[in-house]
Amino acid sequence: MNNTNLIEALEWRYATKKMNGNEIPKEKLDTILEAIRLAPSSFGFTPYSVVVVQDKELQAKLLPLCYNQSQIVDASALLIFAPWKNITEEQVDVYMKEIAETRNIPVESLNDFANAIKGKINHSSNEDLHTWASKQAYIALGFGLAAAALEKIDSTPMEGFNPAGVNELLGFNEKGLQAACILALGYRDVEKDYLANATKVRRKKEALFIEA
């Protein structure tokens, strides 16, 4: 992989409006999921879950909750990014244990790091914590979009859905999750998607970037 390949892939991708229903290879989906797993996050702590939906019956049930956007049923997979509703010290302790086991170090050596994260939790409102968790989830979404483009898998990031309905259907309320965004993955329907051959439009770099 080089910069040219990345830029070409990003030029190629767009928010696909019509998908053809074809299934994407498992290895490509696994690559996208691994890129999401490796996405940066504050403290390396990932206060969200990503739910993978590939069941056609469940996709059909999601359709009316997503304002009947056809990508919901025509996608090969849906990734639902769901920040945790409640962030606790116990979750931090689990993370510390994972670090200690992975790096083969005493968990006690991570006390200062653990206390920094717990301080963030204890001195933030639930609303602020949810916003923080959502921002981390959106970083992961960006990595998923880039990885999909490199794999030549079409994608559509979606916020247009009924969160309460999606949460209820997927049992998120019981799981302590809250749907924030959906990433549909599949293949573009070139004949039916009016944007399939359209030139990408973005602000020119002279207008976007400002030298301080």
Residue type, 56: K
- The answer to the question of residue 197 being in a domain is no
Q: Residue range 183-209: average pLDDT?
A: 96
- The answer to the question of residue 144 being in a domain is yes
Task: Kindly give, in sequence order, each residue whose CB lies less than 8 Å from that of residue 16, ignoring residues fewer than 6 positions away.
Answer: 71, 154, 155, 156, 184, 186, 188, 193, 195, 196
- The answer to the question of residue 208 being in a domain is no
Q: Determine the pLDDT at residue 211.
A: 94
For the cut 60, the answer to whether the pLDDT of residue 186 exceeds it is yes
Please tell me the pTM assigned to this model.
Answer: 0.95
Task: Kindly give, in sequence order, each residue whose CB lies less than 8 Å from that of residue 130, ignoring residues fewer than 6 positions away.
Answer: 83, 85, 178
What tens digit of pLDDT does each residue of 122-171 get? 999 999 999 999 999 999 999 999 999 999 999 999 999 999 999 999 99
Alpha carbon 196 to its chain centroid, in Å, reads: 23
For the cut 80, the answer to whether the pLDDT of residue 1 exceeds it is no
According to DSSP, the residues that pair with 177 across neighbouring strands are 84
For the cut 80, the answer to whether the pLDDT of residue 2 exceeds it is no
Q: Determine the pLDDT at residue 143.
A: 98
- How many domains does the chain contain in total? 1
Average pLDDT, the chain: 97
For the cut 80, the answer to whether the pLDDT of residue 4 exceeds it is no
Q: Determine the pLDDT at residue 68.
A: 98
- The answer to the question of residue 206 being in a domain is no
- Tell me the three state secondary structure of residue 54: coil
What tens digit of pLDDT does each residue of 79-135 get? 999 999 999 999 999 999 999 999 999 999 999 999 999 999 999 999 999 999 999
- The answer to the question of residue 207 being in a domain is no
- The answer to the question of residue 103 being in a domain is yes
Contact 83, 132 (CB under 8 A): no
Q: Rounded distance, CA 21 to CA 186, Å?
A: 7
Q: Determine the pLDDT at residue 35.
A: 98
Q: How confident is the model at residue 59 (pLDDT cuts 50, 70, 90)?
A: very high
Contact 130, 85 (CB under 8 A): yes
CATH number, position 151: 3.40.109.10
Q: What domain range includes position 51?
A: 3-189
- The answer to the question of residue 72 being in a domain is yes
Alpha helices, H only, 104-162: 111-122, 126-150
According to DSSP, the residues that pair with 137 across neighbouring strands are none
For the cut 60, the answer to whether the pLDDT of residue 17 exceeds it is yes
- The answer to the question of residue 212 being in a domain is no
Query: What percent of the chain has pLDDT above 90?
Result: 98
Q: Rounded distance, CA 71 to CA 183, Å?
A: 10
Q: How confident is the model at residue 52 (pLDDT cuts 50, 70, 90)?
A: very high
